Structure 1
């Protein structure tokens, strides 16, 4: 064998020995060759969205049991963990997510964060949000939800016609009963329906065309304030109905502009007084007397009341 061939053989032997040594000393690489991670979105629409919690899951966490691992999210944020992690992006854009092992080995994937999700067929089906019940004379709010829709057609069951074309509608029922609410949009074939029950809050009485008796007005206001005092703290619907009744019938200005004088020594605006009467004092209060500065559109009301000590 000539010198040239000996040299080639020696070089090949050195390379082979080096590879064996590397394989023996660094089995780490062979283990990590199977490492991978996946990115899962919370709403499962296969789109990574702004402010959506994303889950970064390692396919085999046992490969990292004796190693250091750091997650880098491409925006300067990082999490030290050899387990699965959750992360939410606060800004849209493309990012390179990297799982770095022992500060040497990187496993990376690019992720695209978008501002919002793509609308689906389900987004064309509207939903109705409203209270399950209400009272005659109360302003009831109805809200429609459908990301794909722009036109709204509400029927509330009293008139037999379309009552509103707004996404959020307000309606006042004039009679008690169970009503079927109907909502259509430009996307629906048939209307979406929901039932609401309307109660009579108080026994109706016929009013004269012209109220010429101050006593009728004062007794009516006194009656409404006593109802507010007697209502449970959680009965906000009945409370709002009474306040709206007083406002619509006797007050021509903002409720906060009406002065209330209690027992000739305490003061409130009308709205704060009603709130305190309902939520704070409750049925421990007895309304004894009501006086107005003027019967129509009063701006000041003097109230005499006492605490019922037996409550």
Structure 2
């Protein structure tokens, strides 16, 4: 037998053995994977929490049959967790897509909405000041803050949207009558704002007393002239046309138009003064937003440059005048407020 034929036979056997070895290895791997394979046709997990808010503990539990391993991704850039049941805390409000990967194959996803942290008013942080019940237009109102550890002040006296004073002791002269709301913010903490009301009275007009009546003596009937035919008493006509003492009627604004104007305020296209006529001049009246008391003026300041979504609104008016007394608003939570 020649040398070339011997080499060919040897190579043929080597190739055959190589194929046999590869086949056995592949079969072993397949058998191992088949033995350890876990199905996960219906991936399902539950989410439970006392409240879905920032800082609250939330429990995630997988209920998938034949699940062997898990990978939880909470959508907030935190580390992946690998247990069947995990606890998680979200540090910011918003919507998060929580993904669960089971057995490295099957996946389920749920959206979890986290609300802002529930704010509890600390009464010890509320500004302290006193104000008298009434004052007359043109008189000087003096107020003083008595809050402990206060270093900055923002006084608003209810006639404009601007801050009227930034001193501990403030003075103000009202130019228009009406019920005004005074608000004070100290140390920049707008969540702890104290508001008080003062009734601004109009200036009383002094009546001149008649000390003496002088005149000439006339005989009865002197100077009296007969009225011509067709004469009408113009003074009587004026009396008929004169308005009675009825309350001043302000323009009526509907709920949808009110919301549209608030959206323009949130987009910085209007300010609280756009509502002045509807509030009979007092845009600093108390309103209720998501169950919390605030003033309309402060509410307009807070919603500027924020995405406003009002769910419901109720406007309470004075009978006969359309003057708005107060408003209750239900809205989606906005970052940093209410």
In which range does the TM-score fall when normalised by the shorter chain? under 0.3
Higher strand share: 1
Larger Rg: 2
